[in-house]
A and B are shown apart, each in its own frame.
Chain A
C-alpha cells in the first residue's frame, strides 16, 4: 500500500495522544498528586496530538467538506465508528483540562471523566486498528497482531509523552511497556513474513486448476489508480533499514534513554514519535494488497 504521510500522521499522532490521555486519567484515578499545570499540559498535549491526527486524516479525502457524513454509518463501518468515538472522547479530555484551566469546580466529576477517558481512548484506538484489521484483501493487516499493536504502541508512545509532561516517577513501567511493544512489533513482522504468499494469482482468477498464470501483456498502457495506490513495492534492503529505524527510535532508544535517566524527556518523546512514524510507514509499505495478483505479483 502507498504510504501516504497524511495517514501515517493520523494514526501515530492520535495514538500517542490517546496513550498520553490514558496515562493521565489512570494517574488521576490512582490518586497521583498532579499539579494543575501538569493536568492542563497533559490534556492540552493529548488534545493537540489527537486533533493533528484527525485533521491530517481528512487531508487525503477527495471532499473534506463532506467529512461530517462519515459519522452516519456506525452500524457497519469501522471508519465511521472511529470518527464517532474520537468525537466522544473529546468530552472527558475537554472537561478534565477545562476544569483545571478555567477552575470550573467540577472536581466531583473528574474521577468519572477519567474512567470515561480511559474507556473512550481504548475503544477509539481499537476502532482505528479495526479500520485496517477488517480488510481481508490486505493479509498483512487482517490479523490480531494489528489490533494488539495499535493498543500497545499508543500506551508506550503515550507513556513516553507522559514522562515529558508529568515527571519520571513511573519511568520503569514505560520502559517495560516499550520492551513489550518491541516484542509485539517483532511478532507482527514474524507473522506477516510467515504468511506472505498465501494467495496465488490463479486463486484470484478463479482458475487454480489450469497451471501457472503469467500476465503476458499489460491491461492498460500507463499506470492506473490501483497500481499507484496499492502497487507499492518495498525492496528488502529498504525494509530492513526501516525496520531497524522503527525498532531503534520507536522502542529501543527511548527505553535506554529512560532507563539511564537522561533528563531530555522532550527529545525522547520526539525520537519515539519519529520511530512510530517509521513503524507506520512500514505498516503501509509492507502491506501487499491482493489486487496486485492481477498485475505484477505471483503471490501475496
Chain B
C-alpha cells in the first residue's frame, strides 16, 4: 500500500560524515557488487566497456568545491543514496503499490513484480535516489541491503549495508535513528547533523554530518596548542617527567 505508515517501529538509516569521506567511491562499487547479485539484481549495465557507459547504481558520489569569502576553498565529497524519508513522496505517488515504506523498520523498497515502470516515483524524489532499469522495465533503488542486514547466516557485526562495511575511512554509519541511544543517534547529536534539502519537506531518515566549520577548527587548534604548551611548561617547572 502506498499510504505511508503513521509511525515506523525503527528508523533504519545511514549517517554519513562529510568530514571523513575521501571520495574513493568504494561504497558505490561495493553497493553495486552486493546488489547486482542480491535480491534486486541484476542491475543494468549498458556499454560497460564503451565510450558512454551507463547503468543503474544505488549510490553516487558527487564532489563539490565550496568557496567562501575569507576562507580557503574546501572539497566536500558527497555520497548520495536513498534517504528512506519518513514523508517519502516517491511512495505516495505510486499508482500500483510497488513503492512502499515498511512499518517495521522504515526502509523504502520497490516490489519489482508489481512495478509498471511509469517512472513517476523518480520524478517525485528530489534527491535522484531512484534509477530506472531499462532492461527489467522497473524502477530500482537502495534497499539498505535488506538482504544482508537481516541475514542470520552471517556474523552479527557484519550485518550492515555493503556501503558501510566497505568504507575504508569509516565515514558511514548504520543504525536506528528512532532509538536515541543508538550509535547513529549519538553521533548525530554530538555532531552537526543535517537533513538534505529540508525545503522539500520529505523528513529524510539518513543524516549528514556537516564538515567542521573552519573558524571553530582554527580556534580549537590554537587553544589546544596553548594548553599543551602551558602543560609542558608546568610539568618542566614541577620536574615531572611522567606521561
A and B, one complex? Answer: yes
Per-residue 0/1 for A197-208: is the Cβ within 8 Å of any B Cβ (1 yes, 0 no)? 001010111110
Interface of B is mostly: loop
Contact check, B210 vs A206: say whether CB atoms are below 8 A apart.
Answer: yes
Contact check, B64 vs A215: say whether CB atoms are below 8 A apart.
Answer: yes
Q: Which residues of A contact B94 (CB under 8 A)?
A: 73, 76-77
Number of cross-chain contacts by CB at 8 Å: 195
Give residues 77-101 of B contacting A (CB, 8 Å).
78, 80, 89, 91-98
Q: Which residues of B contact A207 (CB under 8 A)?
A: 18, 66, 76, 194, 210-211
Q: How far is the CA of A222 from the CA of B60 in the complex (A)?
A: 12
**Of B61, B116, B124, which contacts A61 at CB under 8 A?**
B116
Instruction: Choose, from A44-52, A117-125, A132-140, A242-250, the stretch at the interface.
Output: A132-140
Q: A194 contacts the other chain (Cβ, under 8 Å)?
A: no
> How many of chain B's residues touch chain A, expressed as a range?
35 or more
With A229-B132, A294-B128 in contact, do A205 and B196 touch (Cβ < 8 Å)? yes
**Of A64, A77, A206, A223, which contacts B194 at CB under 8 A?**
A206
Size of the A side of the interface (Cβ < 8 Å), in residues, is: 55
Q: Which residues of B contact A71 (CB under 8 A)?
A: 95
Q: Which residues of A contact B68 (CB under 8 A)?
A: 210-212
Query: Chain B's nearest CB lies how many Å from the CB of A295?
Result: 8
Contact check, B120 vs A79: say whether CB atoms are below 8 A apart.
Answer: yes
Q: Which residues of A contact B98 (CB under 8 A)?
A: 69
Q: How far is the CA of A1 from the CA of B119 in the complex (A)?
A: 12
Q: Which residues of A contact B196 (CB under 8 A)?
A: 204-206
Q: A213 contacts the other chain (Cβ, under 8 Å)?
A: yes
Contact check, B122 vs A229: say whether CB atoms are below 8 A apart.
Answer: yes
Contact check, A70 vs B95: say whether CB atoms are below 8 A apart.
Answer: yes
Q: B152 contacts the other chain (Cβ, under 8 Å)?
A: no
Q: Which residues of B contact A223 (CB under 8 A)?
A: 52, 54
Query: Chain A's nearest CB lies how many Å from the CB of B132?
Result: 5
Contact check, B1 vs A73: say whether CB atoms are below 8 A apart.
Answer: yes
Q: Which residues of A contact B225 (CB under 8 A)?
A: none
Kindly report which residue of chain A lies nearest to residue B54, judged by CB atoms.
A222
Q: B65 contacts the other chain (Cβ, under 8 Å)?
A: yes
Q: B150 contacts the other chain (Cβ, under 8 Å)?
A: no
Q: How far is the CA of A135 from the CA of B53 in the complex (A)?
A: 30
Query: Chain A's nearest CB lies how many Å from the CB of B139?
Result: 8
Q: A290 contacts the other chain (Cβ, under 8 Å)?
A: yes
Contact check, A66 vs B62: say whether CB atoms are below 8 A apart.
Answer: no
Give residues 214-238 of A contacting B (CB, 8 Å).
214-217, 219-226, 229-230
Q: How far is the CA of A206 from the CA of B56 in the complex (A)?
A: 25
Contact check, A72 vs B64: say whether CB atoms are below 8 A apart.
Answer: no
**Of A67, A220, A230, which contacts B60 at CB under 8 A?**
A220
Q: A105 contacts the other chain (Cβ, under 8 Å)?
A: no
Contact check, B96 vs A66: say whether CB atoms are below 8 A apart.
Answer: yes
Q: B103 contacts the other chain (Cβ, under 8 Å)?
A: no
**Of B63, B114, B127, B128, which contacts A66 at CB under 8 A?**
B114
Contact check, B195 vs A206: say whether CB atoms are below 8 A apart.
Answer: yes
Per-residue 0/1 for B115-137: is the Cβ within 8 Å of any A Cβ (1 yes, 0 no)? 11111101111111001111011
Q: A291 contacts the other chain (Cβ, under 8 Å)?
A: yes
**Of A63, A205, A222, which contacts B78 at CB under 8 A?**
A205
Q: B218 contacts the other chain (Cβ, under 8 Å)?
A: no
Q: B221 contacts the other chain (Cβ, under 8 Å)?
A: no
Contact check, B2 vs A75: say whether CB atoms are below 8 A apart.
Answer: yes
Q: B75 contacts the other chain (Cβ, under 8 Å)?
A: yes
Q: How far is the CA of A131 from the CA of B118 in the complex (A)?
A: 12
Contact check, B197 vs A206: say whether CB atoms are below 8 A apart.
Answer: yes
A-B interface, 9 closest residue pairs, ranked by CB to CB distance from nearest: A62-B117, A211-B68, A62-B137, A291-B128, A206-B194, A70-B95, A80-B95, A69-B96, A137-B126
Could you tell me which A residues sit within 8 Å of B by CB distance?
Answer: 1, 60-64, 66-67, 69-73, 75-80, 83, 131, 134-138, 199, 201, 203-207, 210-217, 219-226, 229-230, 289-291, 294
